[in-house]
Amino acid sequence: MKKKHLKALLMIVLSLALTLTACSGKRQGESTESQITIGIPQDVEDSLDPHKAVAAGTEEVFFNMFEGLVKPDSDGNLNPAVASDYKVSEDEKIYTFTLREGVKFHDGSLVTVEDVKYSIERCADTSEGGPLVAAFSNIVSVNATDDKTIEIVLAEPDADFLASMDTAIIPASNTTPESVAIGTGPYKFVSHAPQESFVMEKFDEYWGEAAHIDKVTLKVCANTDSIVMNLNGGSIDMFSRLTATQVSQLNNNFEVLEGTMNLVQALYLNNGVEPFNNEKVRQALCYAIDKQYILDMTSDGHGTPVGTSMFPAFGKYYMPELADYYTKDVEKAKALLKEAGYPEGFSFTIKVPSNYTPHIETTQVIAEELKAINVDAKIELIEWETWLSDVYSGRKFEGTVIGLDASSLTASSMLLRFNSDSSKNFINYSNPEYDAAYARAVGTTNQEERTAAFKECQQILTETAANVYIQDMAEFVAINKKYAGYEFYPLYVQDYSKLYIVGEE
């Protein structure tokens, strides 16, 4: 009897010992690979095609996997990437790029001029409506002059053309770019579990400075309320774009960096529907709102008030004086509403994507401020996917609070969408004066004239109160002190390749 017990005990101890060794063995295996888990507010789009990505949240992730002939850096300069050098002809009509030698795609093949030609022509293709990259409508031809030189001929001179050359270069042999992601970036695609995670791995044969961390896992944190808990609990190591209140609750494990988001947060109004097709109504809303008050209420005063569709990172194009064009004046707002035929006010619905806490908070303050002029703003929280399909693509909305960013650091990337015939003009803004000023800006090679014309565009947007402009939001990045190297970009991108583990590099 006793012996039996002993045997059983021995068995248990042995099996326990076995399991334990197995565990520790696994743990050792994991620690050889450095990794970071980063929270993102919304899922990356289903399609992995970099040319067809529309959401900023997708583009900022793809920045790590795909590169163009040139690539922006954190100071806003465009540096040669897949191309090693470029020349611009004097009339700014012919751009000649020399391919960098030995640049490899994630599948191991070398980048050839055919791939470049394919990628550019794919984005310039107009067979399905407009070209994928708006600036490419200007391209006359793309010629491979020899096996490492490519020449792009434009119909009209375009000084900003280079900025759109950050368009991803993808292999011509990849027939299914929407499901197979092959680029030249420092990270390559591993897996994507919708609504859950997006995993990337360091690309060992990257042409430039290789990434420091082997594996980057992006975790979708659609419920904004739980972000602080996820950070404090350690299930995510980093989160960009936190609000001031969220930051104040983080524990000591985090380094908090402050920058600006480089976007224009505004109450975007559908200029195509009643009552916002009336300029006076839009102006009345502008007069009813105190931007600084919103900042104080939602972010303890952090952020930069803006008055038009342009943010400070744009430097010479940015007009800070427009931020004060409308100062809060309830009486004037009421008078304008009366002139417009709404002496009793009116009610409308603001649709807000439910995963963006900052936009929801701003909306609540706006709704409260609008009560002073008898405008009843109802708030409707909708899912991000619904926002994309109904508000952005379908244009079925009255007002929405969102931040619009620039896909490249050119004035046109912010201002193109307000042309009356632009496919991105989801607010249905239509103003011949604006169209004329914009056409003048893109039609000239003279830098001064160009800047002046773009400024005129902004001025028109502000004067006609296209939208109720609010701010370029303060961006707080919380990063676990185990990691460092985060860099702010003047664009809406995240560069994971610069991150490293403290003490290892």
Partner 1 sequence: MKRKKNFNLIIGTVLTGLMLLLIVTGLFFLPYDPETMDIELKFAGMSPAHPFGCDNYGRDVFTRVMVGARTTLLVALGTVGIGAGAGILIGAFTGYFGGWVDEVVMRIIDALFAFPSILLALVVISLLGNGKLGVISLLLGSGKYQVILALGIAFIPSFARVVRSEYLKQREMDYVKNARIMGCGHLRIMFVHILPNIMPVLIPTVMIGFNNAVLSEAGMSYLGIGVQPPDASLGRMLSEAQTYLFSQPSYALFPGLTIVLLVLGFSLLADGLEER
CB of 348 to partner 1, least distance (A): 11
| # of chain residues touching partner 1 (CB under 8 A) | 29
CB of 258 to partner 1, least distance (A): 19
Cis before 157 (ω within 30): no
CB of 248 to partner 1, least distance (A): 6
- Amino acid, res. 304: T
Q: Which is nearer to partner 1, 365 or 493 (CB)?
A: 365
CB of 468 to partner 1, least distance (A): 17
Contact between 245 and partner 1 per CB under 8 A: yes
Q: Which of 86, 293, 346, 500 binds partner 1 (CB under 8 A)?
A: 293
CB of 289 to partner 1, least distance (A): 13
Closest Cα to residue 351, out of 395, 405, 387? 387
| Distance (Å, whole) CA 435 – CA 430 | 8
Interface characters, 174-213, with partner 1 (x: CB under 8 A): ----------------------------------------
Q: Which is nearer to partner 1, 353 or 490 (CB)?
A: 353
Torsion of CA 243, 377, 325, 434, to 10 degrees: 100
Contact between 381 and partner 1 per CB under 8 A: yes
Q: Which is nearer to partner 1, 72 or 303 (CB)?
A: 303
Strand partners, 96: 87, 151
94-99/83-88 β-pairing = antiparallel
Contact between 297 and partner 1 per CB under 8 A: yes
Q: Which residues of 64-101 are buried (b: 16+ CB within 10 A; e: fewer)?
A: bbbbbbbbbeeeeebebbbbbebeeeeebbbbbbbbbe
Q: Which of 7, 26, 87, 378 binds partner 1 (CB under 8 A)?
A: 378
Closest Cα to residue 61, out of 182, 187, 169? 187
Cis before 194 (ω within 30): no
Contact between 256 and partner 1 per CB under 8 A: no
Q: Which is nearer to partner 1, 143 or 245 (CB)?
A: 245
Q: Could you tell me the CA-to-CA distances from 348 to 101, 276, 501 in Å, in that order?
A: 57, 10, 49
| Distance (Å, whole) CA 152 – CA 123 | 13
Contacts with partner 1 in 216-235 (CB under 8 A)? 224-226, 228-229
254-260/474-480 β-pairing = antiparallel
Q: Which of 174, 362, 364, 462 binds partner 1 (CB under 8 A)?
A: 364
CB of 37 to partner 1, least distance (A): 21
Q: Which of 123, 152, 360, 373 binds partner 1 (CB under 8 A)?
A: 360
**Extended beta strands in 270-374, E state:** 304-305, 347-353
Interface characters, 302-341, with partner 1 (x: CB under 8 A): ----------------------------------------
Q: Which is nearer to partner 1, 15 or 223 (CB)?
A: 223
Q: Which of 159, 199, 273, 379 binds partner 1 (CB under 8 A)?
A: 379
Three-state SS at 101: coil
CB of 440 to partner 1, least distance (A): 43
Whose tokens are 């931040």? That residue is: 403
Three-state SS at 13: helix
- Which element (helix H / strand E) includes 2? helix 2-31
DSSP state for residue 43 in the 8-state scheme: P
Q: Which is nearer to partner 1, 126 or 223 (CB)?
A: 223
Contact between 146 and partner 1 per CB under 8 A: no
CB of 368 to partner 1, least distance (A): 5
Q: Which is nearer to partner 1, 111 or 231 (CB)?
A: 231
Q: Which of 124, 281, 365, 373 binds partner 1 (CB under 8 A)?
A: 365
Torsion of CA 308, 310, 315, 321, to 10 degrees: 10
Interface characters, 402-441, with partner 1 (x: CB under 8 A): ----------------------------------------
Q: Which is nearer to partner 1, 92 or 296 (CB)?
A: 296
CA gyration radius, the chain: 26
**Extended beta strands in 203-276, E state:** 215-220, 238-242, 254-260, 263-269
Residue count of the chain: 505
Contact between 368 and partner 1 per CB under 8 A: yes
First to last CA, the chain: 61
CB of 390 to partner 1, least distance (A): 9
Contact between 246 and partner 1 per CB under 8 A: yes
Q: Which is nearer to partner 1, 17 or 229 (CB)?
A: 229
Binding piece for partner 1, criterion CB under 8 A, among 80-88, 97-105, 169-177, 293-301: 293-301
Positive/negative CA dihedral, 382, 385, 375, 308: positive
Phi, psi (rounded to 5 degrees) for 91 = -85, 10
Contact between 382 and partner 1 per CB under 8 A: yes
Q: Which of 184, 240, 357, 480 binds partner 1 (CB under 8 A)?
A: 357
Q: Which is nearer to partner 1, 246 or 271 (CB)?
A: 246
| Distance (Å, whole) CA 475 – CA 465 | 26
Q: Could you tell me the CA-to-CA distances from 397 to 117, 283, 401 in Å, in that order?
A: 40, 19, 11
Tokens of 351: 């649709």
**Can you give the binding site for partner 1, defined by CB under 8 A?**
224-226, 228-229, 245-246, 248-249, 293, 296-297, 349, 354, 357, 360-361, 363-365, 367-368, 371, 378-382, 386
